[in-house]
Chain A
Amino acid sequence: MKISQSQPLRIRRDRIGETVILFFVGTARFAIAAQAVEEIREIDELQEFHFGSPHEKLDKVRQMFMRQGKTYFVVNAAEHFRLAPGNPARLLVLRHAPGSVAVDSIERMQEIHAIHELPDAFCGEERNWYRGLTLIRGQVVPVVRAESFLTKAEGTLLAAALRSSRKNTGLVTA
């Protein structure tokens, strides 16, 4: 991807042609790169998961599921984005990430042509959450950074906790 160094406007834009999936968490609409999503599936057959000790950044993971011997931890998107509890109904199974994301609904797929840099005034967790902002019919939609939902380090911590839990309960670890 090329990043223009000589934009006439002050906001840097990544000029792209990219397909994104639009989804809702509560009333907030987000976009995620379609190529970052392996599968969209119903929320069913989820197992409860407790990390054990309180951990602010991992409280958003309370469920998991197994598929083909692989464990997927489920990140509650409402908790991730510090929103009021929603009604998760769909799972975005992420590609190249140890997690999947529970969202309220999927709107549609959409081609976007530019990602605007998140303005400097935003200095909180959103700098990690978002790759930038895109405009869809005049509406500003944040484009999420898929890897921010669950980092590899967090995934490793969760997997270790799961192994420990299974060991303590006498279950065989995958």
Chain B
Amino acid sequence: MSSFLSTRETFVLFPMGKKRFALPATQVSELARSQRSPQEQAQWFPHTTPLITGVVLRRNQIVPVADLAPVLIGPDAPERKFYLVIDRAHGKSRRMAIPVTGECELADSEQLPVTGNLPSYVCGLLSLKEEIVEVLDVERLMSSEVRL
């Protein structure tokens, strides 16, 4: 018998290319426009961490920007003018900004267990009308073994 809990949760759905993905709403702290002021524009400094494209200043915090598009949909990502700011599960400086197009919405749904041959960063599925949406495990997605 599966130990998977099928309780309803709220998820933030965001489009990436032709698909939509989901994050638990409890992880998302805000949806922010990316260029409200020059100081809030993404800034870059040298580093070697894959997927991290820079940092933004949000509420006096330096928040790293992680572009998940190369992993989720490949190189042809559309222009994105918003950030989903999420709180990562571990670590002291945990916030991270994910560029999105802005057409995000909330959905209450049961998180279903992963079936089929999906990437390891998919931690669940949402069945929404005529669409199956993958729930992302950002920690897993950021980990090197997934990217490699």
Contact = CB atoms under 8 A, between A and B. Distances in A.
B115 interface: no
A28 B43 CA distance: 10
B41 to A, nearest CB: 10
B84 interface: no
Contacts of A140: 43, 45, 55, 57, 62
Nearest to B61: A11
A117 B93 contact: yes
Interface residues of A, number: 29
A123 interface: yes
B13 interface: no
Contacts of B44: 28
A116 B94 contact: no
Contacts of B99: none
A11 B90 CA distance: 13
A122 B52 contact: yes
A126 B142 CA distance: 16
Contacts of A129: 46-47
Given A121-B88, A122-B49, 19 more contacts: A11-B62, A12-B93, A28-B46, A29-B45, A116-B62, A119-B63, A119-B93, A120-B90, A120-B91, A120-B92, A120-B93, A121-B49, A121-B64, A121-B93, A122-B47, A122-B64, A133-B55, A133-B62, A138-B57
B96 interface: yes
A120 B88 contact: yes
B46 A83 contact: yes
Given A11-B62, A121-B142, A126 B49 contact: yes
Contact of B64 (A12, A30, A119, A142): A119
B90 to A, nearest CB: 8
Contact of B48 (A119, A124, A135): A124
Interface string A26-55: 001110000000000000000000000000
Q: Decide if the interface of chain A is mainly helix, strand, loop or mixed.
A: loop
29 contacts: A9-B60, A9-B61, A10-B92, A11-B92, A12-B92, A28-B44, A28-B45, A82-B46, A82-B48, A83-B46, A116-B93, A117-B93, A119-B62, A119-B93, A119-B96, A121-B52, A121-B66, A121-B142, A124-B48, A124-B49, A124-B50, A126-B46, A126-B47, A133-B45, A135-B62, A138-B38, A138-B57, A140-B57, A142-B46
Interface in A92-137: 116-126, 129, 133, 135
B64 to A, nearest CB: 4
Nearest to A80: B46
Given A10-B61, A138-B38, A140-B43, A123 B93 contact: no
A129 B61 CA distance: 21
Given A119-B63, A120-B93, A138 B49 contact: no
